[in-house]
Amino acid sequence: MRLATIRTATGNRAVRVDADAAVETGERDVRALLERPDWADHAAAADGPAHPLDGLDYAPLVPSPEKIICVGLNYRDHVQEMGNQLPEYPTVFAKFPPALVGAYDDIVLPRASKAVDWEVELTVVIGRPVRHATPREAEEAIAGYTVLNDVSVRDFQRRTSQFLQGKTFERTTPLGPWLVTPDELPDGGWEVCTVVDGETMQRSSTAELVFSPVDLVVYLSAIVTLNPGDVIATGTPGGVGHARKPPRYLTDGTQLVTRIDGIGECRNTCRLEAAP
C-alpha cells in the first residue's frame, strides 16, 4: 500500500495511492492517519473522494512530524570517501519541519551559501509509539519507507562539530512522494541514486548501510519515544558533491532527482532564495 499527503483546494488530505487514483482516507495528512491504531485497515478500506493521479500536488509526506531524526556516516562507501572510520554508534542529528518540501516542489538554495549539496536517503516512517524496542518491536513499529534528500549547506555544517546548522535551512529537504508499506518491498538491498542535471552522482544499495532501519529504531527508541509520523533518514552513500575534486554543488536551476528502487522518486528544481 502507498500513502501520501496531497494538497487540495480545501487543504491537505491523506490518501491511499492506487494504480488509477488517489483515494482520501478522511485524515488531514499521513501523520494524522498513522496516529490511528487501526491505520492500515482504515486506509485499505478507505472509499473517500478520489483524485486522478495526473497532476497530484504532493505535500511533504508528513508535513509536520514531531521528530525528524537524521543519521550521518551510515554507508560504508560514504564513510570512506569522507575519510572517516566506520562508526561504533549512529551519528544522530535533527531537522525541523520548516526544512521540508514536497516531492516535486522547488528546493530553495540559501543566499548565505554557495556550497549546497545533495544526499539521497532511505527514510523510515514510524507507525506506532515505541520505546526501548526489541528488534521485533522495532520492525513492527515501521509503517513504511519513503525518499528524502538531505540537502546540506556544507559551509555552515562544517563551522562546528555539530551538523544541525547546515542541515535545516528552510525549504531545502524534499520528502515523499509517498510511504510504501514494508509488505510491498522485496527483501535485500534497494538501489538508491541521485541524478543532478541528468548525470548520476550517487548510486548504491541499502545493503551498504552500517546500521539498518531496525537497528536505528532500536537505538533511537532507547533515547526517546518514537511516535507515529516520526521520520528517520538513514544516511547517504558515496557520491556527494562536497567530496568531489573539485567539489560540485547545487546551483539555481539545477534539476535534482532522488530515487529509491521500489519506493519512488523526488524530482525538484533548485531555486536561489529570493532577496530579502
- The string of pLDDT tens digits covering residues 217-238 is 999 999 999 999 999 999 999 9
**E strand or H helix that includes residue 232:** strand 231-233
Kindly state the average pLDDT of the residues 99-123. 98
Asked whether the predicted pLDDT for residue 81 surpasses 80, the reply is no
Q: Provide the pLDDT confidence category of residue 84 given band limits of 50, 70 and 90.
A: confident
Exposure string of 195-212, with b = 16+ CB inside 10 Å and e = fewer, is: bbeeeebbbbbbebbbbb
Q: Rounded to 5 degrees, what are φ and ψ at 78?
A: -70, -40
Task: Say how far apart CA 160 and CA 140 lie, in whole Å.
Answer: 37
Looking at the predicted structure, is the pLDDT value of residue 266 above 90? yes
Q: Start-end ranges of CATH 3.90.850.10 in the chain?
A: 62-272
Predicted pLDDT of residue 105: 98
Fold observed for domain 62-272 = Fumarylacetoacetate hydrolase; domain 2 (3.90.850)
- Please classify residue 273 by burial: count the beta carbons closer than 10 Å to its beta carbon, then call 0-12 exposed, 13-18 middle and 19+ buried: middle
Phi, psi of 243 (to 5 degrees): -85, -5
Q: How much of the chain, in percent, has pLDDT values that exceed 70?
A: 100
The conformation of residue 204, written as its DSSP 8-state character, comes to: E
**SS3 state of residue 102:** coil
Average of per-residue pLDDT across 139-159:
97
> Which pLDDT tens digit goes with each residue over 32-56?
999 999 999 999 999 999 999 999 9
What does the pLDDT read at residue 76? 86
- State mean pLDDT over 79-98: 89
| pTM (2 d.p.) | 0.96
Q: What is the mean pLDDT of residues 212-219?
A: 98
